Homo-oligomer: A and B are copies of this chain.
């Protein structure tokens, strides 16, 4: 039945090439937008031929989905690392502040801006929705703990507070992408302060 496998798949090699292409995709998407990022240019950036590209990703949309999923994984890992903390507000401010750190890599804000307007594939919309849900899950958990501990306002339901935290981080990333003089490392302080005011209320 099973034929002899003359050359098995080297999983490490495979994953490395994948990451190489993902990195190139992140770069080109962020500076040209989704449609502006032609597969030819992505291949050029990655230093590969188009045949190789489609050997690793069946579709250009698949590459984008893979990038988004990588980001979602990162969110979950970050959440796991904070699991045993006992200061809800501190955790929330740390999570919010980490957005500002992400924005230090200029590709990140550019990428989210470029990807925001992609409506082509429903699979992309779903990946975006999953990422949003992952962030919401993490934040809601800590907001609710904060409310139980009396550290976070209770006149606004947790879900809405979560939306507002995402509003702040989303607006922050947009500003970094659009306005060159908006320095994320400088504005980090105001971001955390605004979030603290939001959580406290009044």
Taking Cβ atoms with an 8 Å cutoff, the residues of A that contact B are 31-36, 113-120, 128, 132, 156, 159-160, 163-164, 166-172, 174-175, 178-179, 181-182, 187, 190, 194, 197-198
Point out the residue from B160, B172, B197 that lies within 8 Å of A167, measured CB to CB. B172
Residue of B nearest to A132 (CB): B178
Contacts of A178 in B (CB 8 A): 128, 132
Q: Decide if B33 touches A117 in the complex (CB within 8 Å).
A: yes
Contacts of A115 in B (CB 8 A): 117
Contacts of A31 in B (CB 8 A): 119
- Compute how far the CA of A160 lies from the CA of B32 in the bound complex, rounded to whole angstroms: 28
Contacts of A113 in B (CB 8 A): 116-117
Minimal beta-carbon separation of A164 from chain B (angstroms): 7
Contacts of A33 in B (CB 8 A): 117-120
Q: Decide if B190 touches A194 in the complex (CB within 8 Å).
A: no
- Compute how far the CA of A33 lies from the CA of B164 in the bound complex, rounded to whole angstroms: 25
A164-B190, A190-B164, A197-B197 given; A32·B119 CB < 8 A? yes
Q: Decide if B170 touches A174 in the complex (CB within 8 Å).
A: yes
